[in-house]
Chains A and B, each alone.
Chain A
Amino acid sequence: MKRPARAHPLWLAFVLHRLSGLGLALFLPVHFWVLSLALTDPARLDQALHFTERPLVKLAEFGLVFLLAVHFFGGLRLLALEWLPWSAPQKSLAAAAVAVSFLVSGTFFLRAI
């Protein structure tokens, strides 16, 4: 992927959206497999859940929620840009609102852990 010499905000938004989607798509099978342990090996599931209490894992979990929030709100931004008859300044406002919402949700999650 070659990029223009000056990467501009909308282009960075695209990269963030793509990488977060990729990250989530790679995480999902792992997530599904761990949960399936309830079917085949419940003791191992408990082990896995206990493992998630480690601080490094908590950090990784926050990273995942970050990816999810970025992808989710970025996607909403795209849908608004494409399907709603908003003008340019309103879109910037939407982007700002999104950033704030994400900060709030991120903090919320950190508080919970």
Chain B
Amino acid sequence: MPDAQATLSVTVSRGGYDSRQRQIFAVPAHENQTVLDVVSWIQQSLDPTLSYRFACRVGMCGSCAMTVNGVPRWTCRTHVKKVLDGDRLEIGPLRNLPVIKDLAVDMEPFFDKWVAAEGRHHPTRGRAEPIAPIDPLDAQRQTANAGIECINCSVCYAACDTVAANADYLGPAALQRAWTLLNDAKDGNRQGILDAVSGSGGCHNCHSMGSCTAYCPNELDPMSAIAGLKRETARTFFKRRG
């Protein structure tokens, strides 16, 4: 029936952190349409009180990440046709982060864990000294490079069941960043990083489910980065016990 094709039935999870409801909207279907288009249309044409985040809308900032039909995705890079279930679409906020309102979540715990994993560069030289040369073809550098394009969208954090089950767990993004710094020849706090990822929320909680790698929109591989951290911490475990 032509009418059924022309309309999407979109269920949106609404409300604050303590009271959630699901609201259904009828949205006109188009040939080329992203989930972000759908959410924007609802807010602009049907319900101006709908809260959501976006910025670049071209897949480089990660702000528009939401749960679409149960899967965390960048909504600006998700064609409706790819995820449509019949004529139904279900949109909600990212999992594992506190909800502020409707589809907007509080990213603070994500960034707090980023810092807790020692995810910031620890310099070894001052500005007066010459820059340390790094060979881009160096194996260690290539290992680090594999993870540096993370834009902190927290799709991996939302996808991870261990993050959901364990409040202390630092999560794939933070641990991947720690791994890139561990492999950065210019970083001066190797032991600090290893200690930060060996605590109660550390890399050893990872069960290698691989949802992080499966869902990363940038096609990064946090699971392998975490495996690297496990390897390095295991190695120093024996060294320390001598």
Contacts and interface: CB of A to CB of B under 8 A. Distances in A.
Nearest to B159: A4
B69 A10 contact: no
A56 interface: no
Interface string A67-90: 000000000001001110000000
B85 to A, nearest CB: 9
Interface string B77-113: 0000000000000000001000000000000000000
Given A10-B210, A14-B207, A4 B231 contact: no
A81 B227 CA distance: 7
B227 A82 contact: yes
Nearest to A14: B209
B165 A5 contact: no
Contact of A83 (B71, B164, B230): B230
Nearest to A1: B161
A2 interface: yes
Interface residues of B, number: 21
Q: How large is the interface on A (under 10, 10 to 19, 20 to 34, 35 or more residues)?
A: 10 to 19
A78 B95 CA distance: 26
A50 interface: no
Interface in A4-22: 4-6, 8, 10-11, 14, 17-18
Contacts of B211: 4, 8, 10-11
Contacts of B95: 2
A3 B111 CA distance: 24
B199 interface: no
Contacts of B234: 82-83
B208 A81 contact: yes
Nearest to B226: A82
B192 interface: no
A6 B71 CA distance: 8
Contacts of B207: 14, 17-18
A46 B46 CA distance: 75
B95 to A, nearest CB: 7
A17 B209 CA distance: 11
Contact of A2 (B164, B209, B231): B164
Contacts of B214: 8, 10-11
Nearest to B206: A82
A4 B209 CA distance: 11
8 contacts: A2-B164, A4-B70, A4-B159, A5-B69, A6-B70, A10-B223, A11-B209, A14-B207
Interface of B: 69-72, 95, 159, 161, 164-165, 207-211, 214-215, 223, 227, 230-231, 234
